[in-house]
Amino acid sequence: MLSVANYWVLTLGKTEAQLRFSKVYPMGHCYRIGNGPQTQAYCMTTTLDILDKLIRFDTVSSNSNLALASYVEGFLEARGFTVHRITDPGGEKTGLYAEKGPAGDGVLLSAHTDVVPVAGQSWTKDPFHLTRDGDRLYGRGTTDMKGFVASLMALADRASAADLREPLKIALSYDEEVGCVGLQQMLDRLAPMLGQPRACFVGEPTEMQVAIGHKGKAALRAVCHGSSGHSALAPRFTNALHLATDFITELRRLQALYAREGAQDTAYSVPYTSFHVGKMSGGTALNIVPDRAELTFEYRHLAADQGKEILSQIQSAAARVGASYQSQCPEARVEVEQYNAYPGLDVAQSHAVVSYAQKLARSNSTTKVAFGTEAGFFSELGIPTVVCGPGSMESQGHKPDEYLELSQLKACDAMMDRLLEDISR
């Protein structure tokens, strides 16, 4: 294995079934490998070339990702990968599953293709054109997470010239940024194709640290029902906003309970299960008592706090609030609906996938991240999974003038090189 301009080249020639490493001769954007009868030309596509193309696709979650998917699909197929589309119910978006190498467990690399919106943010650079300024690569999705996608595609390029002893598997999803919706729609078709990889790397930004945990999340909607009338007679009616505020008080009591008595994990900046109300609405006019109010809220839970138990506590709180108003308004009630959820990730420090990831990432430590990922879904399939990718979510992700440091991208490429070496003969 030889380094050329920070990218690695493998010769295809072999002697006695062993991979032969040969001198590399530059040929413009291509390389002539070896100087004997097995000399071959190998054209490399660099990670930066790929990232530049990926950033140009406006894959904000509200948009289609089909153009990007077609580019990635063609790129991988040209390099010998078998690629499957896994489309969404409306046919406007698609996930991809790709595989190359012999049958077997192999290693899985996972990423999402959508990005968060730029509307309402003050950008000083074009968010959908890659701009390099010193060590920084600017563009929407550079950190979250097209930088990792570019790195895995560059790995696929290099893998096309390698003799793999186990399969390299790639899963790309859509609509991760709106609650991991895409992967949930893909799973019933994706899971049979995946098999049981011995390791899965979800490349969300961790500054190339090996993340072994994050909280699970559930998103919920509460609809509060009261009775309507003229505001001059307001005390005779049941204001749905009053039910809503009482329900929020119940959620705050649950928050205090979990902060005081629930599981604790100091690896997180908020070391306990948390509750958050994000929106509340109700009423049509000042002089009308509202008979309906709605709020949306979430909880983010540690693995030790079971989601089903938390949901049961929320439902009990809603029932108490409704019952407290029913003597005046028999139809008073709070209806709770959980409309989305994704599982957390909690990998034992002693698990073999952790030491394997540390070896590839050249990291001696582990971390846990505050944000959610798709890793929990793979873990629930029995696939040993960690989160590890370039960039910082806290410093760079989802912000105007989002950027990725070039050193982080190089570190990711180096990890991919070590992975390719590990799965090659």
**pLDDT tens string 182-236:** 999 999 999 999 999 999 999 999 999 999 999 999 999 999 999 999 999 999 9
Q: Are residues 175 and 82 in the same domain?
A: yes
| Mean pLDDT over each residue of the chain, to the nearest integer | 91
C-alpha pair distances (Å), 94 with each of 50, 99, 179, 339, 371:
19, 17, 16, 22, 24
Question: Which amino acid belongs to residue 119?
Answer: A
Q: Are residues 71 and 166 in the same domain?
A: yes
The per-residue pLDDT for 24 is 32
Q: Residue 45: what pLDDT?
A: 64
Domain match, 274 and 418 both: no
Which of these three, 317, 342, 367, is where a domain ends? 342
Nearest Cα neighbor of 344 from 397, 385, 394, 396 is: 385
Structural domain span for residue 231: 216-342
At 254, is the secondary structure helix, strand, or coil? Answer: helix
Note the pLDDT of residue 12: 34
- What pLDDT, on the 0 to 100 scale, is given for residue 7? 36
- Same domain? For 161 and 88 the reply is yes
pLDDT of residue 160: 94
Tokens 């979510």, residue?
393
**In whole angstroms, how far apart are CA 414 and each of 6, 254, 268, 389, 421?**
9, 46, 28, 12, 11
Last residue of a domain, one of 44, 61, 79: 44
Same domain, 40 and 53: no
State the residue for tokens 């054209």. Answer: 43
Q: ∠ at Cα 271 (199, 396), nearest 5°?
A: 65
Q: At what angle do helices 352-361 and 406-423 cross, to 10 degrees?
A: 120
With a cut of 70, which residues of the chain have pLDDT below it? 1-45
On whether the CB atoms of residues 383 and 108 are closer than 8 A, the answer is: yes
- CA distances to 29, 92, 295 from 131, in Å: 21, 29, 40
Q: Do residue 337 and residue 398 come from a single domain?
A: no
